[in-house]
Structure 1
Amino acid sequence: MKKIGRNFFSLVWTGVRRNYDNLDDNIAKHLGETDADNPVEIHLSRMFSEVFKRHSKDEADRLFIVGTRSTTPSLRKVSSRPVKPWFFSRVFTVLAVSFIMLILLLFLFKSNKAIPGLIFIGSLAVPFSLLMMFFEINVYQNISVLQLLTTFLVGGILSLLVTMTFYMMLPIRSEVSIESALIVGITEELAKCVVIIFFINLYKLNYIFNGVLIGAAIGAGFSVFESSGYVSEYGLATIFTRSFQAIGTHTIWAAIIGGAIILGKQRKHPFTIRDFFTKPRFFVFFLIAVCLHTFWDWDIPYTGIEISLLQEFVDVIIGWFLIFVMIDAGLREVKTLQGQQIVIHRTKRKPLVKKG
């Protein structure tokens, strides 16, 4: 039986490995304005290939000199090459090392003064690093660091205020049943969605990568402040679990919603209440984000920690897959707006680019 199980797992894994790189493109090609029969050359399997390479200080500096009138590139100069973010890993390393040093300060020297820093850095490390990744991925380079930090701080707090306003109007029970988990999922994702729409309309953004970045900023802010608040309720140990769990929660869900808002609105027009209810491409992704949140919060009866960890693992995989779909759709959008049509032959010859 063990041999049959291993052979079955090997067969399934081989199929997943062979088809994964195309699956996200098969979904994304139906989201954009391109002909669905024209694939785009995107190598998500090599997306993080630059993380372990050496980069100069000048390369890092150039990432942050964006979003101004003189540094925002024209559409013609926007890169449509596969995105390869790397700086976010340096941000995470700095925050992780800081977190470890604060742990040493607390446990070796019994210094309670380290606790506020431990809570803040622990809450910040993963969400803010993810935010930096989405900042790098925004190939349009039309959102400045000031706008990003404003959205992260103000948008994160504003989304919490909207959430608490909704909670006052809804029946939330203390037990984590499927009904309560669904109400929480709808409430929090709707609150973040409202704030994301506000900032997208405020900044007059029109590109998928822009929506993903604004969503990630608001989701990261929400995550940081919520995690910090949970410590006061459940104790310091909470920060050790929520810090690494943030890789697949609010930042990712809000980024999906942000990209979906751009997909759902008419280009160069604000997102309206009518768009919320009449645009299937937006509404499907919004409902998926709600379902991911609900599934994460749902405490399945009569199950242990193993099932809970499996829930989180499945949630993270699905969430990141949808992020890859958004990245794929975003690169398709660049090529469409630049008037290019990508043709990929099934042989090993280089793809042809036709001006159209």
Structure 2
Amino acid sequence: MDSSGDSELCDFCRLPIPDDPITMGRDSTVYEFCTEACRDAMVESDRAFTEYHGFRRIRTGVSGLDSFLPQGFPRNSFVLLANDEGARDDALRAELVWRALERDEPAAVVTFTEPPISVVEGFLSLDWNVLPYLESGQLHIVDCFTYRMDDRDRERMFERMDEWNRHIYDITKSVTQTVRDPSDVSELHNKLDNCLEALSMSDCGVVVVDSLTEFGTLVQPVQAYNFVKDIRADVCKGRFVPIFAGATLTAEEGDFPHDLGYAVDGIVDMQVNGNIVEDTLIKRIRIRKMNGVLAIPEWVAYEFTAGKGLVTFDPIAEMSDTYEGGERESDEDGESDESARREASSENADSGEDGDREESHVQTDQ
């Protein structure tokens, strides 16, 4: 019987036993349980839990998020990435996928605003080579973009591709689920489900959606809300797979999807702020909400660097360092200028004395 502090823990589920324990003896060892169900499960199972798992918490792998989620985040979460234009939420979604792939977990990208080739190019531009993961089938794409083109347009697009893009297309096509009509929420839901089944995605992996804002333009608001609630129930709560969905802020902040706060488990704000440093737009990120764990809702400035992903920094300190460095250079330049002026003055003085001597010599000769 293990214990943690003053609390005795159930020998099966590892939760504290609040009342008199239910005991069971086996091979001269007495086991204690919090419920009869745990005792019976212990009899039927060949092993016990080594710790309480609950809704398993994981790390995103994105340093700028994890530092403000000291307990991680529950795997069964639907997280809204609410962003301003120019906040580079596409790079954040790419990093969330890349970190999952690095953990040897599967990932799925649902794209409304870009064709699959552009999605892949987005990873490559950040120095994250996802081609091996596409070839192995660890990364899949649900294509909700190319429905905009008819068969003739698709043929024309393929003819216009250069050799490199055709190479990416060949690697990507086998792991792409194409949605013929994204406004048909039933088809969209089925294609996403097929994708997750192909990846055997349960209690592992991650799903990212590039734009709920774009999706909201394709369907009626009631359909949009119901779709988000349905995939949250099916994917996040049913499969224990987190979803990170982007949503660009617009002037009408009361419309879908910006009033989804009550229906999602987490909200990450990505802001472009022009009031921190004069004449400069600074990107800032914070975790506004994350159910079930401690979240520190503090704004932090960030930028994306190829190979590293999201990097945080202090813009005021950066500007101070730059300003102080400029002052030092200015002082050094000033000292150099003053020294040059002194040298020039000295040379002029010497030149004047020589001239006086020459003039005096001439007068004497006369």
Normalising to structure 1: TM-score of the pair?
A: 0.20
Q: Which has the higher helix share?
A: 1
Q: Which has the higher strand share?
A: 2
Normalising to structure 2: TM-score of the pair?
A: 0.19
